[in-house]
Structure 1
Amino acid sequence: MKTAVLSAIVFILMFSFANITRADEIDDLRAKMQKLREDYESKIQKLQTQVERLDKKQEERASRIEEKVDQKVLGMEYVGRYEGPFGKGGLLIKNPSGFGNVSVGGYADIEFENFENSNSTFDQARFVLNLGAMPHERLLFYSEYEIEHGGPNAADTGQGEAKVEQAWISYLINDMVNLRGGIVLVPFGKFNLLHDSDIQDLTERPIVSRRLLSATWMESGFGAFGEFNIGESLGWKLLPDFYLNYESYIMNGLDEDISDAGMRNAKGSISSDANNNKAFVSRLGLGFNRNLELGLSSYFGRYGRSGSATRNGQDNLIGLGSDINFKRGPFEVVGDFAYLDFEDGGLVDHDNDNAADEVSAPKYMQGFYIEPRYHFWPKFLNNTFLGRGFKDPNLTLVSRYDWVDIGDDGDTGDGANKEKRFTLGLNYRPIETWVFKMEYQWNNSTNETLERGDKNGVMASMAMGF
């Protein structure tokens, strides 16, 4: 009996202890659940506050945009001539709705020259306006309107002109393939693509660019451009930054205004093809890194107008070119080479008058320039008027050697026309897009004069991009 009573007491005590332990666990769980609920509610409250704050900001932003649209107020920012999202325009006009941005820019230069046996003169050489637009991140428009030598109404000179030099539309697909059509710069050599006065370090353009490549050379056409980052894609350790870029177009051809003085007057027609035979032109750039690029250019087409006295525009013209752009520290070297080959028996008419006074075309034209540059800035100039207030002023010592050789065209003159030039100059840039240039030229020619003949002289200019 006693044993039974003791067993019952032990059982009751164990059961009571278990219940007490379970009650404690339940209380702990309840406390944890309460804490979780409080944390959860606190976080929900914070998130709700953030959402309300974002909604308020969005409403305020939408209200400001609507107000700007109603008032036709556009945002404007000067980002720098070469810092905009597209083209060469320093002033970026932003659409308040977030698309349709427009850029405005340009450049101007004033030149002075004084050569032997010639009158010294000032020349308002160029005034250029750039207008670009980006209605979508994959759609671009860019244009350049140029007024040269005061325009077509400038007194006496007869050299003034006003023209659209670029007006093209681009459809961007990816880095490697993009489409472009309109009035484009002909991608033969590098200088024609980078001819702006505020970019160049010498006032006078290279002879080969003026006489063989008619810089600035533009034409109506359609084509493609892009870049392949080969070193990065293939994981080349030796050349990790190796790349290829290209521009390639089909475009209207040239007329027959060609002579042994060069191609300067041979122009195509922006509005129509001269002979219904399109020209093909391409440039391929091979970049070993971002400091060294070699370029190869080609041109294949027929010149002359249909119905002209020069074999009805059926004569072939082939051009091959190369260029270099090298930078290392303060040193820089740029240059172009061009060779043009005219079909055997080809004819030219130097004044495009359709009269029966055509002569045989030059068999060839060839030329090059090489231009080394050294950029520097002595520290003692920092506190002078040249350096004071400017962030990164610069002096550039620059030289250039030009050489051109053009075969005889069958006119009254006899023999090839050759001209060579050596130029030494110094320029000053308080900012990247403003430059004052001074230079001296030594010129030498054989047979007919192409540019300066045997006259040596000095040139100076100021140019500014904006």
Structure 2
Amino acid sequence: MSRRHTLLLLPLLLAPLTGRAQDEGTAPARPAEDAPRAPEAEQQQDGPKLDLEGLEDPAGTAGTATQGTHPEGHDQAAQETFTQRLQPTTTLTQRAAAILDRTTLGGYAEHDFILPKDGTSTFRNHRYVLFVYSHISERVSTATEIEFEFAGSPLKREGVLGAGEVLLEFSVVDLELTDWATFRAGVILMPVGAYNLRHDAPAQELAERPIAYTTVVPTTWFESGAGFLGGFDLGQDWRLSYEVYAVNGLDAKILDGQGFRAARGSHLKDNNNDKAFTGRLSVSPFLGLEGGLSGYTGSYDLEGRRVNMVNADVFWRLGPLDLTGEVVRAFIDPGYVQGFPPGSTANTRDRVPTGMFGFYAQANYRFRIEPFFRALPNEWREGHFTASVRYEEKNTDTEFVTEGDAARLTLGLNFRPLPPYVIKNSFHWQKTGANGEQPHVWTGNFWKENSWEYIASVAYLF
């Protein structure tokens, strides 16, 4: 990695909107071929070669804290302020004031309106996410993502106030060792597929995440651990990027329907002595194309029963058209939901599924209606519409056809007046395997027995 801090947090906040490393392939403010390129000194090196308004994304995961160059005097001054902040006589106010020159705050938010086929229409304050980034020295940086889901706590359900959700979904400290290797430790986004790394709402063209990538890959999937990431230029435009980590790993709460969502590892204590390993290798042969292969392996209980998972992903930009998709397969040793402390209600002894499978394929087409945009305020005239279609399936127990099997077809139409702000509209049809038949869109009963849902959403980056 070259010295990359010219842009400080800007790549971090814009990264979810770029295809280069953060997004499944969401459209930029205008088609990439029309976008002005940033000066070479500001170009980033890691990740797939896609750009947003000429800024290529800097690293290989969402929220990556990238390294770069600061003038020597700046780093010397930074170290002096650290020394002052650590003095026993320094007040909390003085310590806080000293961080303003190198710590940056940003984030994104998402607010929905949902109209289901059956049930009550509702507004949903889906999430409000804060990014915190700090340049500690020339080769050390830290980044954090904090999510308030459904407005945090307290959360009112069925007339009763209860605990809501505030999560530290990503919090790492990076140490740049060489141009091609950075050591990372903390709460890490698992590099199993591209979507988990690039899930930020303003970067997505559809309001709902793929159903297999909230269950089989339980996005947002984050674990405590440590490892390495980096990349290599292979000549001309080719770029190879990698991430590899050791983490606490999944526990035994693996369920049909929910997949691995309830089995995400503890940040306090591993449930066994076997650390899980995960990694992703991606290659980008030219601007606009990336393919990735990733995997996971680790024990889920004290008896050494294992989960092995493999995932493939691809993104291809063809002018105003983006094609993207992923497929995941999990292989699980037979076992039971057990191994938690005696008396824990988590020891249900439910059967653990022995296999899971899922995929999605999506196309996004960006277009403009010139008379419409000419009538808008000047700052919105470079915006665009995006039409999207996605087909997806999930199977959270490959031995049986159950309600955990589902097929979904989604159509979407979005208006993005500015890169960081999007108004989304989507409509999906979904059928499950509750009647004992494997659901597919090409079978007749998909259209006779499905449920549907309309979602309008506003997402923005700040």
**TM-score when scaled to structure 1?**
0.72
Establish whether residue 286 from structure 1 lines up as the match of residue 244 from structure 2.
no
Aligned match of 1:347 in 330, 333, 336?
A: 336
Bigger helix fraction: 1
- Aligned twin of 2:126: 125
* Residue 433 of structure 1 pairs with residue 420 of structure 2: yes
Deviations 1:155-203 (A, max 9, x none): 2265730011111000112332111010010000000000000111100
CA contact (8 A) 2:211 2:393 kept: yes
**Residue of structure 2 in register with 1:405 after alignment:** 395
Amino acid at match of 1:193: L
C-alpha distance 207-85 of structure 1, shift in aligned 2 (>3 A): closer
CA gap 1:269/1:355 in 2 versus in 1, 3 angstroms = closer
Correspondence for 1:443: 430
Instruction: Indicate if the aligned counterparts of 2:279 and 2:295 stay in contact, CA closer than 8 A.
Output: yes
The alignment partner of 1:162 has SS state of strand
2:316 pairs with one of 326, 337, 341: 326
Counterpart in 1 of 2:189? 185
Q: Quick check: 1:162 aligned with 2:173?
A: no
Q: Partners in 2 of 1:293 and 1:105 — Cα distance?
A: 28
Pair 313,196 (structure 1): closer, same or farther in 2 beyond 3 Å? farther
The CA distance in 2 between the partners of 1:217 and 1:227, in whole Å, is 23
> Helix, strand or coil for the counterpart of 2:260?
coil
Give the AA of the match of 2:372.
L
CA shift digits 1:310-360 (9 cap, x unpaired): xx35211100000011112111012121111011x3223599945764133
Structure 1 residue runs of 5 or longer lacking an equivalent are 1-75, 233-239, 305-311
What's 1:214 paired with? 218
Matches within 5 A, 1:39-188: 81-82=13-14, 87=63, 98-99=74-75, 100=78, 101-156=102-157, 160-188=164-192
Which residue identity is paired with 1:319? M
Alpha-carbon shift at residue 136 of structure 1 (Å): 1.8
Deviation for aligned residue 1:242: 1.6
Instruction: Show CA shifts across 1:43-94 (max 9, x none).
Output: xxxxxxxxxxxxxxxxxxxxxxxxxxxxxxxxx99968327989589xxxx9
Deviation per residue, 1:379-434 (Å, 9 max, x gap): 1122223x54325211111111111122268xxx9758410000000111111111
Q: Partners in 1 of 2:453 and 2:145 — Cα distance?
A: 32
The one-letter amino acid of 2:214's match is R
Could you tell me whether the CA contact under 8 Å between 1:315 and 1:347 is conserved in 2?
A: no
The AA in structure 2 aligned to 1:463 is A
Read off the aligned partner of 1:276 and give its amino acid letter: N
- What are the equivalent positions in structure 2 for 1:334-413 lying under 5 Å apart? 334-343=324-333, 345-348=334-337, 353=344, 357-385=348-376, 388-390=378-380, 392-407=382-397
Letter in 2 for 1:122: F
Given that 1:226 and 1:246 are in contact with CA atoms closer than 8 Å, whether structure 2 keeps it comes out as yes
For 2:95, the equivalent position in structure 1 comes to none
Cα deviation, 1:265-287, whole Å, max 9, x if unaligned, reads 11201122111210000000011
Amino acid at match of 2:356: M
| Residue aligning to 2:293 | 296
The aligned residue for residue 277 of structure 1 is 274
Q: Which structure would you say has the larger Rg?
A: 1
SS of residue in 1 equivalent to 2:193 = coil
- Alignment match, 1:419: 406
CA drift of 1:97 comes to 6.1
For 2:165 and 2:351, how far apart are their aligned partners in 1?
30
Distance of 2:9 and 2:299 partners within structure 1? 45
Do the aligned residues in 2 keep the contact of 1:186 with 1:217 (CA within 8 Å)? yes
Q: TM-score, with normalisation over the residues of structure 2?
A: 0.73
Write the letter of the residue equivalent to 1:465.
L
**Structure 2: which 5+ residue stretches go unaligned?**
1-6, 15-54, 79-101, 439-448
Please tell me whether the aligned partners of residues 146 and 165 of structure 1 are also in contact (alpha carbons under 8 angstroms): yes
Aligned to 1:201: 205
Change (3 A) 1:365 1:162: same
How many residues are treated as equivalent by the alignment?
367
Check whether the contact 1:417–1:448 (CA below 8 A) recurs between aligned residues.
no
Percent identity of paired positions between Structure 1 and Structure 2: 30
Q: Does the 8 Å CA contact 1:318/1:340 hold for their aligned counterparts?
A: yes
